[in-house]
Chain A
Amino acid sequence: MIAPEKMETVLSLSHGAIDCDVHPALANTDVLLPYLDDYWREMVQIRTVENLDLNSYPPAVPLSGRPDWRPPRGKPGSDLGLLQRDALDAFDVRCAICNTLYGGPYLPNDDFAAALARGINDWIAKEWLDRDRRLRASIVIAPENPELAADEINRVAPDRRFVQVMVLAAGERPLGKRTYWPIYRAAERHGLPIGIHAGSSFRHPPTSLGWGSYYLEDYVAHAQAFQHQLLSLVAEGVFVEFPTLKVVLIESGITWLPAFLWRFDKTWRGIRTETPWVDRPPTQIVRDHVRLTLQPVDEPPEPARFERLIDHIGSEEMLLFSTDYPHWQFEGSDVFPAGLSDQHRRKIMIDNPLQTYPRLLEARQEAVG
């Protein structure tokens, strides 16, 4: 809960922002039963798959729910009323994008995974989007069968409240591989960015060295999964094949980006003939096509260093406002790191999200008209 005297500060800081990452939680797989056909309803019931949460964020882990945002019962993020009060109202946002994290779409059974993704999309539309006009959502897909995933994008995309297609940062293969291109083709056709959200289906160890022992290792090393995906998307030429496609890294952290890009550019100079479709420095491609959400921000201890980091990134167009509700990434209303100019903060809150998600712009025009 935010104390009333603090509420005013919050309002002035993030008024009208677009929250690009909030997490409604599925209480359990049973919630999806009304949205599954007879066969998959039967399968959920007889296979006892009542809980398919992602292993990275078990509900009891402190990170999974800020103490003052946890409901009295159930998973953090499972209650619409609380999300409205603690995320939408408290931060006074114009709208918020719901990213439903659930392991179901990453089941090894392609058809089951696709059925659960369909169920999640119908569930979020009916039980969340229909109940608050400020809410938008990412289309959840089961990406390991890209043809089925593209079908799902095509099925859901006519509902303009869906503004993005979401996949996890670590699946079976690097996301630039041509296997996945049907997903990008469908997304680009509908004007939907691809959101790559932190998380793994654990088909591979979370580090390139093998299995660690602690969540600490998984979480810190996860920045490398995002780096690999960026590498793969650029090197495989996804942005050449799909020139209007945008990718949003969600919960990737941002401080690793400049050093990674310096290394990427430098190495590309010497061996660019291997990937001749990468015909300009990778940094330029990333600046044009890639965006990152703000929270959890891995800011350095001194604000001045954060300013320098922003300078190293070399663009004010790349960061998107997010609270990561209900995950515990900051206290009170301190959603912005110190060291951002007023102008940059406004871009992060409003301009950059509107540029990234064209469907948000449509909704605004309708509202104005």
Chain B
Amino acid sequence: MPQRYVVATAGEIPVGGSKAATVAGREIGIFNLGGEYFALLNRCPHEGGPLCKGRRTALFESKRPGTFTSSRPGEILRCPWHGWEFDIRTGRSYCDPDKVRTRAYAVTVEPGRHLVEGPYTAETYSVSVDENYIVVEV
């Protein structure tokens, strides 16, 4: 049965920003993409590199040698250890999206007045009814 955890206040992670949080013994990275939140296990499936410390880039593609296109700025996470790329929205790798992926978790933004009713775990948060919170389902 997945548990839901409060990991941040809604204002805490700016657009384009991220935060690492330890939830149920796992380190998870929470990312703000243009106001949408996504969460990934902070562990590269290749050698265990700390993904959240990686560079965030656009998706670079090409239709022909010598031509370059750039899309989805900030949505690709490049592992700081060996450079494998992961889609922040899904956790899938570029190199082998079906087999090589890091765990992605569902994220919601919840008003504090819902949270105080439970059943949520706020490991380090005292939740106020007046604020909005980022909740990860693990």
Binding site for B on A (CB under 8 A): 178, 236-238, 240-241, 268-273, 275-277, 279, 281
Contacts and interface: CB of A to CB of B under 8 A. Distances in A.
Contact of A269 (B57, B67, B69, B82): B82
12 contacts: A236-B65, A237-B66, A240-B64, A241-B65, A269-B95, A272-B94, A272-B95, A275-B62, A276-B62, A277-B64, A281-B95, A281-B96
Interface in B55-80: 57, 60-69
A311 B62 CA distance: 32
| 8 tightest Cβ-Cβ pairs between the two chains A and B | A237-B65, A270-B83, A276-B62, A269-B95, A277-B62, A270-B82, A277-B65, A273-B60
Contacts of B60: 273, 276
A270 B93 CA distance: 11
B126 to A, nearest CB: 43
Residue among A271, A273, A277, A281 with max Cβ neighbours from chain B (10 Å): A273
B64 A270 contact: no
Contacts of B85: 272-273
Interface in B81-98: 82-85, 93-96
Contacts of A281: 95-96
Given A268-B95, A269-B95, A272-B94, A279 B61 contact: yes
Interface of B: 46, 57, 60-69, 82-85, 93-96
A271 B65 CA distance: 16
A269 B95 CA distance: 6
A44 B107 CA distance: 78
B53 to A, nearest CB: 16
**Majority secondary structure of chain B interface residues (helix, strand, loop or mixed):** loop
Contacts of A237: 62, 64-66
Contacts of B69: 276
A277 B96 CA distance: 16
Contacts of B62: 237, 240, 275-277, 279
A277 B95 contact: no
Contacts of A279: 61-62
A309 B96 CA distance: 24
A236 B65 CA distance: 7
B45 to A, nearest CB: 11
A271 B57 CA distance: 13
A146 B65 CA distance: 19
Nearest to A269: B95
Contacts of B67: 277
B96 A276 contact: no
A10 B100 CA distance: 48
Contacts of B84: 269-270
Contacts of B94: 272
Residue among B57, B63, B93 with max Cβ neighbours from chain A (10 Å): B63
B121 to A, nearest CB: 36
Contacts of A276: 60-62, 68-69
Contacts of A240: 62-65
Nearest to A181: B65
A241 B83 CA distance: 26
Nearest to B95: A269
A143 B56 CA distance: 43
A276 B61 CA distance: 5
Contacts of B66: 178, 237
Contacts of A269: 46, 82-84, 93, 95-96
Contact of A241 (B57, B64, B68, B82): B64
A270 B96 CA distance: 12
Given A268-B95, A272-B94, A272-B95, A277 B82 contact: no
A179 to B, nearest CB: 13
A275 B64 CA distance: 10
A5 B25 CA distance: 76
A355 to B, nearest CB: 26
